[in-house]
Amino acid sequence: MDDVVDESTIFETPLLEIDLELDADATVYAKAEWFNLYDAPYGGGSIKSRVAKGMLDGAEQRGDIDSDVTLIEPSSGNTGSELARLAGARGYDVEIVMPDNASEGKVNAVRDAGAEIRFVDADRGYDAVIETCEEVVAADPGAYFRPNQYENPDNPGTHERTTAREIYNATDGAVTQFVAGVGTGGTITGTGRGLHDLSDGQVTVVGFEPDGPLHAIDGLKYLRSDDHYHPATYDESVLDRKEYVSTAAAYDCARELRERYADRELPIADPGQHDTATVKKHLRVDGQFLLGTSAAAGAATVTQLDRTGTLDDDDTVVFVLCDRGDKYADIPLWEEYL
Ligand SMILES: Cc1ncc(COP(=O)(O)O)c(C=O)c1O
């Protein structure tokens, strides 16, 4: 059981400058979110470390939880592992409802943190994972507390308070576009709101979703048809633009970046709360620059914006590297490299 969790590494993640070989001369920065809990096993933390902390702190401050309840949450991985790590270390029992095709690294991270896992047949779709969690809670409401990343205002709220300000400050207010994928919509809603406020509406907020229901971009939700559960945490009115991205484009982009940075330094535009040596040490896996699948989709979306003539030479684009590639050692993206 992994009960040593250093919550102080959460927030203030590094900003990297990335060359996506765009036609426009725009500057592109990427926020490396695996530096949240970077020392944790199975690829460190992710963008969800922020949200897990935000929801737990909020619940504790409001007195919503006590040590007798079991925390339960549906998750394809990152929220599950981050909640399991943080809540486990704070002394709570944790149960995570996961699709049975979740990546091995994420399953191991949840198990390693001492949480119970309830698997749901992935063929039933992700909505069945959420429904199963609802059924378990309904059967014994007093026994469980569900942070509920799909409805909890602390999810977008944490991004509004932290991610937005970090990006604004690290770019000295130069950011013109913010690009993020939609799972719960917490990142794009909260960070988008915060950046709109900080910039007096000058930042263009671009959300992206998978282009089809059978995608393999972890953490993102296909929402294009009305018969899918629409998270309350996703406020589409915050978006100035929406893009749809394919799994193939995302994976191609990730492989190109791996090659591009095989022998090339990755400029650290802002190390965040870390020292440069720590950032360099945890940027790569086995010397390789390997992105997680939604990070890859972010890079593909910025490239797509460029190809469609949406970017100007003086733009400063920020996208999010939600997690690192070693969380996906057992999927087609990286299995031959790890
Ligand atoms: C790897 C990864 N990327 C992106 C997202 C989507 O972020 P959000 O839920 O804030 O929309 C998630 C959510 O679980 C994720 O795990």
The domains of the chain are located at 7-44+153-328, 48-145
Alpha carbon of 181 to ligand 1 centroid (Å)? 7
Strands 268-270 and 15-17 turn out to be antiparallel
- Cβ atoms of 320 and 273 within 8 Å: the answer is no
CA angle 111, 85, 233 (to 5 degrees): 110
Worst-scoring range by mean pLDDT, 108-117, 245-254, 328-337?
A: 328-337
Regarding the beta carbon of 82 and ligand 1, being less than 6 Å apart is answered: no
**C-alpha to C-alpha distance for 40 and 6, rounded to whole angstroms:** 9
| pLDDT at res. 61 | 97
Regarding the beta carbon of 219 and ligand 1, being less than 6 Å apart is answered: yes
Alpha carbon of 38 to ligand 1 centroid (Å)? 17
Is pLDDT above 80 for 39? yes
Is pLDDT above 60 for 11? yes
Per-residue model confidence as pLDDT tens digits over 107-119: 999 999 999 999 9
Per-residue model confidence as pLDDT tens digits over 192-243: 999 999 999 999 999 999 999 888 899 898 888 777 778 999 999 999 999 9
| pLDDT at res. 3 | 57
At 79, the pLDDT band (50, 70, 90 cuts) reads very high
At 126, the pLDDT band (50, 70, 90 cuts) reads confident
Regarding the beta carbon of 162 and ligand 1, being less than 6 Å apart is answered: no
What is the torsional sign of CA 323, 329, 335, 337? positive
Average pLDDT rounded to a whole number, residues 89-102: 94
User: Residue of the nearest CA to atom 6 in ligand 1?
Assistant: 183
Instruction: Identify the CA nearest to 147 among candidates 19, 223, 58, 211.
Output: 58
Is pLDDT above 90 for 1? no
Percent of the chain with pLDDT over 70: 99
Q: Would you identify the CATH topology of the domain 7-44+153-328?
A: Rossmann fold (3.40.50)
| pLDDT at res. 2 | 46
**C-alpha to C-alpha distance for 160 and 178, rounded to whole angstroms:** 13
Percent of the chain with pLDDT over 90: 86
Domain 7-44+153-328 identical in fold to domain 48-145: yes
How many Å from the N-terminal Cα to the C-terminal Cα in the chain?
Answer: 25
Worst-scoring range by mean pLDDT, 20-34, 44-58, 226-240?
A: 226-240
Regarding the beta carbon of 48 and ligand 1, being less than 6 Å apart is answered: yes
Alpha carbon of 65 to ligand 1 centroid (Å)? 25
Per-residue model confidence as pLDDT tens digits over 259-268: 999 999 999 9
4 or 244, which is more confident:
244
**Main-chain phi, psi angles of 55, to 5 degrees:** -70, -35
Nearest ligand 1 atom to alpha carbon 182: 11
Is pLDDT above 60 for 124? yes
Q: What does the block give as tokens for 134?
A: 């609802």
Residue 291 carries which DSSP code? B
Regarding the beta carbon of 210 and ligand 1, being less than 6 Å apart is answered: no
CATH of 48-145, one of 3.40.50.880, 1.10.3210.10, 3.40.50.10860, 3.40.50.1100: 3.40.50.1100
Alpha carbon of 309 to ligand 1 centroid (Å)? 27
- Cβ atoms of 305 and 243 within 8 Å: the answer is yes
Per-residue model confidence as pLDDT tens digits over 134-167: 999 999 999 999 999 999 999 999 999 999 999 9
**C-alpha to C-alpha distance for 37 and 81, rounded to whole angstroms:** 11
